[in-house]
Structure 1
Amino acid sequence: MANEVANKNQKPATLQSMVTSAGIRERFNDVLGKKAPAFISSLISVANNSDMLAKADPTTVITAGIMAATLDLPINQNLGFAYIVPFYNGKKRITEAQFQMGYKGYVQLAMRTGQYKTINASEIYEGEIKSRNRLTGEFELGERTSDKVVGYIAYFRLVNGFEKYLYMTKEEVEAHAKKYSQTYKKGFGLWITDFDSMAIKTVLKRLLSKYGILSVEMHNMATALSNDGAVIRDKDGQLTPDFEGTTVDVQAEVADTIEHNANSEELDIPAFVDPETGEVIDDVALFGD
């Protein structure tokens, strides 16, 4: 009975109280070393600058932060590498946080492997594609004949000479958005306001996940591709890591999500939604300058 009263009187954990606990600081230290204090300060700053993140389940904010820390990507929205995005989970009636990769984050992780000599993604304008070899997948590009965007292309060349292209027409990208983006279907969000940036990210992500180097040695690339746009959970559907203990191996917990999420598709960046009114406030900008 006394325990029940104590539990009722116990205040909910806040982000500030959680990140100042020895166990969680140790987790960040394990991942980032000397850079941990600065990253934790950045995490608190990002949360404090967003009313939605301030309301979010702090465990989801921290797990999203650990995901970014594991990938050694800054979460400053202005840099365009990675983001912690709040959204209202209508089924659970709570606000949660998602980890989101930016276009620059994918390029950064690919280049860090040391295996990519060149990597890029861009719009394709009308008239630019002169020819396409269906057998090798190679494209020959020419001068554009108008300012009309007709598709999107991603390309990489490895240091060993292997190269690969992936091209999607604008219609194919639109079909992808209609299938996987709830905000696109409803007529708002980044797929509406910044379609080209979302399309470029989509074609690059597809290229890397299908043909890029994703071996065990390139763990960070595999982790990023499988967890982009997700509330980080383990294969049993629980939030990870479990901060009740102090012996959680964060790296192992994050790795466990790869198999669970490997076949998941990006479901778009959730909008900022007021949990009381249901009003869409705005979308987070994923692509910096």
Structure 2
Amino acid sequence: MATTTGIELKKSNIVAQKESKTLKGMLASADIKKRFDDILGKKSAGFISSVISVASNNKLLAKADPATIIGAAAQAATLDLPINQNLGFAYIIPYGDKAQFQLGYKGYIQLAQRSGQYKDFGAKTVYEGEIEYENRLLDKFKFGERTSDKVIGYFAYFTLINGFEKYLFVSIEDMQKHAKKYSKNYKGGTDTWGLTDFNTMAEKTVLKRLLSKFGPLSIETTAAALAIQNDGGVIRMDKDGNFDAEFDGETIDADFNEFDTSNTPTAVEDGTLIDAETGEVLTDEQ
């Protein structure tokens, strides 16, 4: 009869300890699974699989501290937002050997819509002649007719059901500075991706900036409020499911970078297919 030797048992324990410190091993721990179960309920298993998928499909994230990947994912889970990088709701961004949580512009839109307080909101590319300041200090504007095809900036606005309005204008020069600072792809001007792509990304940025600074958002719990507060930070989740946040540097603006927008299901290590839009596990019947 074959017996397990002390050396074999020791090797097995070492392997188990190493696996417990990996992303997959940590996500398999009872405490962390329970934390996600408490947040997401029945959607927990699919969301955890999507975390593994996101990390395994990004070489830099694969090298990041698993505790920070899980912490970032948990912030998105608290807000009930998918973390598929292609969708723009929430991102897990590699930053050195750590991962950062970043709320995308679609995430801000989703939280704004959930609040039920908006009559209208949006963002537009502004052409010469269409806008000028009436009072810059009070953000009061005069609106006119377009006089040329020259882009001068980007404009975001919202109107609440109670009548409150807020506007934000960012000049094209300031938006170019933002792109140079926070985009991996951007090299200068507006021709790098084509003017249309630059304008689209700039509209996302100005709307996100307006909603994040001035807009009422649906934050139903203390945990959700903390997730908003932790936007752009490194959040670790320990083995007991507790959070620790830090802000130790700048990162890219995920909304101002190009991602593959394909919604093709992705597979995690065990071959399980994950719906790119919802993070749910797909069965053969689906």
TM-score (norm 2): 0.69
Gaps of 5+ in 2: 1-9, 264-286
Letter in 2 for 1:227: N
Q: Distance in 2 between matches of 1:103 and 1:58?
A: 25
> What's the CA shift for 1:181?
3.4
Q: SS in structure 1 opposite 2:211? A: helix
Does 2:175 align with 1:173? yes
Does 2:30 align with 1:22? yes
Aligned to 2:71: 63
Letter in 2 for 1:187: K
Q: Distance in 2 between matches of 1:34 and 1:173?
A: 41
Aligned to 2:18: 11
> What's the CA shift for 1:155?
0.5
* Bigger Rg, structure 1 or 2: 2
Gaps of 5+ in 1: 233-239, 271-282
Aligned to 1:241: 237
Aligned to 2:84: 76
Does 2:105 align with 1:103? yes
Letter in 1 for 2:182: S
Q: SS in structure 1 opposite 2:18? A: coil
Q: How does 1:1-289 map to 2 (within 5 A)?
A: 10-11=17-18, 13-87=21-95, 89=96, 94=97, 96-129=98-131, 132=134, 134=136, 137-177=139-179, 181=182, 183=184, 187=187, 193=193, 195-213=198-216, 223=226, 225-232=228-235, 240-243=236-239, 245=240, 248=242, 253=243, 267-269=251-253, 285=259
Check the 8 A contact 1:214/1:222 in 2, yes or no: no
Q: Distance in 1 between matches of 2:126 and 2:222?
A: 31
> What's the CA shift for 1:227?
2.9
Check the 8 A contact 1:154/1:166 in 2, yes or no: yes
Q: Distance in 1 between matches of 2:228 and 2:250?
A: 10
Check the 8 A contact 1:15/1:59 in 2, yes or no: yes
Letter in 1 for 2:52: I
Q: Give the fraction of aligned pairs with identical amino acids, expressed as a percent.
A: 53
Q: Distance in 1 between matches of 2:161 and 2:101?
A: 30
Q: SS in structure 2 opposite 1:208? A: helix
Structure 1 pair 15–143 and aligned structure 2 pair: CA distance change class (3 A): same
Structure 1 pair 78–164 and aligned structure 2 pair: CA distance change class (3 A): same
> What's the CA shift for 1:145?
3.2
Q: Distance in 2 between matches of 1:214 and 1:69?
A: 16
Q: Distance in 2 between matches of 1:57 and 1:15?
A: 8
Structure 1 pair 214–82 and aligned structure 2 pair: CA distance change class (3 A): closer
> What's the CA shift for 1:70?
0.9
TM-score (norm 1): 0.69
Residues matched between the structures, number: 245
Q: Distance in 1 between matches of 2:182 and 2:217?
A: 26
